[in-house]
Amino acid sequence: MGKTLTYKILDAHKVSEDLENNKMSIKIDHTLTQDATGTMAYLEFISFGIDKVKTELSVSYVDHNTLQNGFMNADDHKFLQTVANKYGIVFSKAGNGICHQVNLERFAKPGKTLLGSDSHTPTSSGVGALAIGAGGLDVACAMAGMPFTIVRPKVVGVKLINKLRDGVSAKDIIIHLIGLMTVKGGVNKVIEYYGDGVKTLGVPERATICNMGAELGATSSVFPSDEVTREFLKIQSREEDFVPLSRDEDSVYDENYTIDLATLEPCASCPNSPDNVKNISELKDIKVDQVLIGSCTNSSYYDFVKVASILKGKKIHKDVSLGIAPGSQQVLQMITKNGILDVLLEAGARILESACGPCIGMGQSPATDAVSLRTFNRNFYGRSGTNSAKVYLVSPEVAALSAVNGYISSPLGLKLDKFSMNVTYPKCDSLLYKPEYKGEVVMGPNIKPLPKFEPIGENFDAKVMISLEDNITTDHIMPAGAKVLPYRSNIEKISEFVFSNIDEGFSKRCLDNGSGVIVAKENYGQGSSREHAAIAPRYLGIKAVIASSFARIHKKNLINFGILPIEVNMEADLFDEINVKYDRNTITVTNKTKNKSYTVENPLTDEEYNLISVGGLLNTF
């Protein structure tokens, strides 16, 4: 039996395998970090005492906290730049663009492994790389040359047949798939695309699809590397990076889906979850207040070509605010040179910086109860900065047409003019710096040392500090946005905001009690890779999270920082008294208040068990 493309890349990078626990460790070729997770990752890396990174390529991007409201963000940027220069990391300065867009343009290579401290790292899999999101500490370890361990993923084969109709786009393919598989349907799986429909999709479209594979909870997504990939690398002046890659024809998938592109309709992820999917035809006539086009999902030159074709000669509706954030300097230069920027400005667009911006709640929060259409990838409760806003995730075509009409509109059948795509892309090196392997690291006053954690112990009593439902996101646990992001390098301060959007008293309650546990249902910790969603609760004294199931990245982050993840579906109320007792073989959780005990096999590997025993990975160095 032949191999899937996923296992061709994984096996070529295999360092070791633990079949008993269904795990494998792989060599990481490339890493990326962004500023919001990067400061922690580099503090961790520095604590290893190594003189330079051991990867083929590591890149540090600044794209999340670019508001610079106060000295904190700018201090973080300086820290990151000086670390990069000293330790051998390429540095992409604020303004150069969103990490995933720039990485795709400049660095992603077919067949390479990439580990990034951001859950949307798989965007780079659009060129046939195997790109995986992880917590900052895992990326720090990869930069130090250590292998990365994953659950041996199941491979989901998604066969694409035929061709999209006019007005339907790559965004609709992935939203449709998320609707089918749900936000937890991809955990510990790689989504592999194949079939005749693949060649009808350009690299930016493939990248959009891989990007939102993160919303399935998938380990990664992957497209073959074919002539379309070669063409993309050629216009990026790096055809030499091309290698053809595809599955063996007789390879077999663990799960199968077929999507007939010719029957897909424009669709949307409705409030407040990417898997709340409806066709646009069911939403038409909903009045729109805000439209935002950008983010690492849909901010390529190709996306803006389509948007301009819809906006050409038109004005946006008077009640709509349209914000446009080109994904990179390259995209910005391209739309400027090719007349697209003029079209956008004449239509009434506001031009935002090439950065994450509103996607992470850094500005552009909608009005109370407003309807906001975004080409982004997440519409979790509160993420826009306005809890009552209704955020819909849509394609650039739906966004642009709705901005003109003032209500949600379907572009199905809309013929777009042909702007020429056959142009050479500028390299735009003005904000990209090669390391000089020298200089001192500069640390501003808001960059605090890493906290030290004691082991939780093998038998402890603690009270339930919060009891939660299914699909709790890391945005619920550790909110982002303009108020909180400046404290990503200051754990004591950021811990005040844990669960603050849904339970303001959480942080104080934990500190008053000294210790505690979190109880939840399915898919706890989905979404962002931010390890702050583990470190900050640990700082507040959380010793264990008891949930029916966990999202991949967050579970690893919990273990890395010495919090015990316990997979049990337990009924519990606030302040219930809990006892946790575990050894190498079993974990027993007793809800003393409800007089109920649950014993499960301890699923941790030896390595994970040791990490919990010593209080987390940082205590092993």
Residues interacting with ligand SF4, by CB under 6 A?
A: 64, 98, 118, 120, 295-296, 356, 359-360, 377
Residue 214: which of 168, 250, 177 has the closest Cα?
A: 177
- The CA distances from residue 178 to 210, 268, 375, 457, in Å, are 12, 11, 15, 40
For 468, the 3-state DSSP assignment is coil
Q: Least distance (Å) from ligand MIC to the CB of residue 360?
A: 5
Q: Least distance (Å) from ligand SF4 to the CB of residue 362?
A: 8
CA distance 268 to 390: 12
Select the binding partner of residue 530 from ligand MIC, ligand SF4, none (C-beta < 5 to 8 A, by kind): ligand MIC
Looking at beta carbons only, is 517 or 559 nearer to ligand MIC? Answer: 559
Q: Least distance (Å) from ligand MIC to the CB of residue 486?
A: 13
Site for ligand MIC (CB under 6 A): which residue of 360, 498, 510, 517? 360
Pair of tokens at residue 279: 């066709």
Q: Is the peptide bond before 272 cis (omega within 30 degrees of 0)?
A: yes
DSSP state at residue 273? -
Pair of tokens at residue 88: 């051998």
For 281, the 3-state DSSP assignment is helix
* DSSP-H helix ranges across 356-490: 396-405, 474-477
Looking at beta carbons only, is 4 or 379 nearer to ligand MIC? Answer: 379
Looking at beta carbons only, is 360 or 371 nearer to ligand SF4? Answer: 360
- Residue matched to tokens 């994984």: 10
Query: Binding residues for ligand MIC, how many (CB under 6 A)?
Result: 12
Select the binding partner of residue 295 from ligand MIC, ligand SF4, none (C-beta < 5 to 8 A, by kind): ligand SF4
Pair of tokens at residue 166: 């006019």
User: Are 136 and 44 contacting, i.e. CB atoms less than 8 angstroms apart?
Assistant: yes
What's at 481, amino acid-wise?
G
Report the site for ligand MIC in 444-483 (rule: CB under 6 A): 480
- Residue 292 pairs with which residues in a beta bridge? 323, 374
- Residue 466 pairs with which residues in a beta bridge? 518
Select the binding partner of residue 98 from ligand MIC, ligand SF4, none (C-beta < 5 to 8 A, by kind): ligand SF4
Q: Least distance (Å) from ligand MIC to the CB of residue 12?
A: 26
Strands 577-582 and 586-591: antiparallel
555 contacts ligand MIC (rule: CB under 6 A): no
Looking at beta carbons only, is 96 or 333 nearer to ligand MIC? Answer: 96
Looking at beta carbons only, is 288 or 296 nearer to ligand SF4? Answer: 296
Site for ligand MIC (CB under 6 A): which residue of 118, 192, 275, 576? 118
Interface segment toward ligand MIC; rule CB under 6 A; list 73-81, 117-125, 259-267, 605-613: 117-125
Contacts of 283 (CB under 8 A, 6+ apart): 268, 270, 392, 408
- The CA distances from residue 152 to 11, 50, 148, in Å, are 11, 29, 12
Select the binding partner of residue 191 from ligand SF4, ligand MIC, none (C-beta < 5 to 8 A, by kind): none
Site for ligand MIC (CB under 6 A): which residue of 93, 120, 189, 554? 120
Report the site for ligand MIC in 520-549 (rule: CB under 6 A): 528-530
Site for ligand MIC (CB under 6 A): which residue of 103, 119, 123, 489? 119
379 contacts ligand MIC (rule: CB under 6 A): no
Looking at beta carbons only, is 101 or 529 nearer to ligand MIC? Answer: 529
CA distance 52 to 48: 11
What residue ranges bind ligand MIC (CB under 6 A)? 36-37, 64, 118-120, 133, 360, 480, 528-530
